[in-house]
Amino acid sequence: MSELIKGKPTSRRAFLRGSVAAAAGAVAAGTAQAGTPDPLITEVQPWANGFGDGVDATPYGLPIQYESDVIRRNVEWLTADTTSSINFTPIHALDGTITPQGCAFERHHSGAIDLRKEDYRLMINGLVDTPLVFTYADLERFPRENHVYFCECAANTGMEWAGAQLNGAQFTHGMIHNMEYTGVPLRTLLEEAGLDVAGDLKDKWVYVEGADASSNGRSIPMAKALGDCLVAFKANGEALRKEHGYPVRLVVPGWEGNMWVKWLRRIEVTDAAVESREETSKYTDTLADGTSRKWTWVMDAKSIITSPSPQAPITHGTGPLVITGLAWSGHGAITRVDVSKDGGKTWETARLAKPGEAKALTRFYLDTTWDGEEMLLQSRAMDETGYIQPTKAQLREVRGENSIYHNNCIQTWWVRPNGEAENVEIS
């Protein structure tokens, strides 16, 4: 390949620095009809007269080098060690709704383990007629389904309770991904083991546990387990990535990501919640008076403008502007998203790219014109239950500032005349 093609990609910082100049340039370009001819057009470029890569240059393709900053990022000060930590999906740089596995956020409690399909075993025990062990090959013989679901960590936006803290949609809202899963309904496996011995299923639970050293375990009420939970082994058409639980993870649609146990190894029917570490000392939401809510599983409706945003400033000057973002609800489908440019004084209803799907990300667009004035951008989601995404003030009024989890408040980006955006809190 020629040196030109391999040219060093512009760094994001340089890109940000150049944004003001670029904005000014765009204005000029629009009017300078009689300017110099563009050499990219008038001169034959290397890629237009030589060869590109042959097939198999990369047997499994990665994004082109110019996209090398569209990656997961970690906030180091959040945790003591990367083996028990979280990173963030670069939602500011993605579009559509499906999250590529390679940049979908990771959350591990004891590191992402290396578990071969051949070494994989899944046990069902407890209050079942016949405790069973399945191999990976067994799972592939059950009838399977395909569904698109979002997976959001309950701590997403958790650093923003006390104030605007992290400057980027990736960091404030990036503990989320959305994939098409292929798997076997959990119900099918429970019925395979038989639930007659469990008696009345109303007060029964299903405890699920992972194969890694943390053996993260969560208790799920039987109704949910027999509802839409999926024992998944494919995501976006291919095997799960190691960091997302290869070869098998649990999908618990609409509920907090911690319950989506990775490297799923054991399913137990119990007569009570186990009250494991992750459902008592963590993933419980402390209110202002010191009492804490437990079993807050559902992720309420939420939305975020992904562009413009701090990591995705406006670089093109005034005129046509696409404001876009994501909305989702653990209670069902998104029915509407409103966008405000003035911090919530007035709202316009955005266009949904497709009708909302239950418990999956919905992409919205507001195709608008920017006059170059500053904006206080907000988005507000509504779901099929009629729920309206609350403001930060509304949330705090009910919960105080110490809940950590389930912060689904309306986010504000302050876009300035130079196109840069910042995470702010407003009155």
Partner 1 sequence: MSKFLKFTLVTGLAISATATAVWAAPFGLGRPALLEEIAAWDVKVMPDGRGLPEGRGDVETGDEVFGDQCAVCHGDFAEGVGNWPKLAGGWGTLDHDDPLKTVGSYWPYLSTLWDYVNRSMPFGNAQTLSPDEVYAIVAYILYSNNLVEDDFELSHENFMDVELPNAGGFIVDDRAETEYAIWHGEPCMENCKDTVEITMRARVLDVTPDDADSTATPEPAAEPEQKAEASAEPAPVAVAAVDPALIEAGEKAFRKCSACHQVGEGASNRAGPALNGIMWHPAGSVDGFKYSGALQAMAEGGLVWTEETLSAFLESPKGFMKGTKMGFAGLKSADERAAIAAYLASFSE
Cβ proximity to partner 1, 240 vs 375, nearer residue:
375
d(CA 327, CA 97): 10
User: In the window 137-156, what residues touch partner 1 (CB under 8 A)?
Assistant: 138, 141-142
Determine, following the binding rule CB under 8 A, whether residue 214 of this chain makes contact with partner 1.
yes
Would you give the end-to-end CA distance of the chain in angstroms?
55
Cβ proximity to partner 1, 27 vs 194, nearer residue:
194
Q: Which two tokens stand for residue 340?
A: 């405000």
Q: Which of 95, 145, 180, 342 binds partner 1 (CB under 8 A)?
A: 342
Determine, following the binding rule CB under 8 A, whether residue 132 of this chain makes contact with partner 1.
yes
Which of 163-171, 173-181, 317-325, 350-358 is the region at the interface with partner 1 (rule: CB under 8 A)? 163-171
| Three-state secondary-structure class, residue 335 | strand
Residues in the chain: 427
383 neighbors 333 (Cβ within 8 angstroms): yes
Q: Which of 329, 339, 380, 407 binds partner 1 (CB under 8 A)?
A: 380
Q: Which two tokens stand for residue 359?
A: 């418990």
Cβ proximity to partner 1, 22 vs 27, nearer residue:
22
What character string, x for contact with partner 1 (CB under 8 A) and - otherwise, covers 245-284? --------------------xx-x-x-x-xxxx--xx--x
Determine, following the binding rule CB under 8 A, whether residue 418 of this chain makes contact with partner 1.
no
* C-alpha dist (Å) from residue 95 to 129, 307, 323, 401, 419: 47, 9, 11, 32, 20
The residue written with tokens 């016949």 in the block is: 130
E strand or H helix at 362:
strand 362-370
Determine, following the binding rule CB under 8 A, whether residue 43 of this chain makes contact with partner 1.
no
Cβ proximity to partner 1, 97 vs 390, nearer residue:
390
Closest distance between partner 1 and the C-beta of residue 29, in Å?
A: 27
Q: Which of 149, 150, 207, 364 binds partner 1 (CB under 8 A)?
A: 207
In 3D, which of 373, 376, 375 has the Cα closest to residue 427? 376
Which of 26-34, 118-126, 235-243, 357-365 is the region at the interface with partner 1 (rule: CB under 8 A)? 118-126
Cβ proximity to partner 1, 180 vs 284, nearer residue:
284
Determine, following the binding rule CB under 8 A, whether residue 244 of this chain makes contact with partner 1.
no
E strand or H helix at 303:
strand 302-307
What character string, x for contact with partner 1 (CB under 8 A) and - otherwise, covers 281-320? x--x-x-xxxxxxxxxxx-x---------x----------
* C-alpha dist (Å) from residue 205 to 28, 77, 248: 65, 36, 21
Q: Which two tokens stand for residue 418?
A: 């130079």
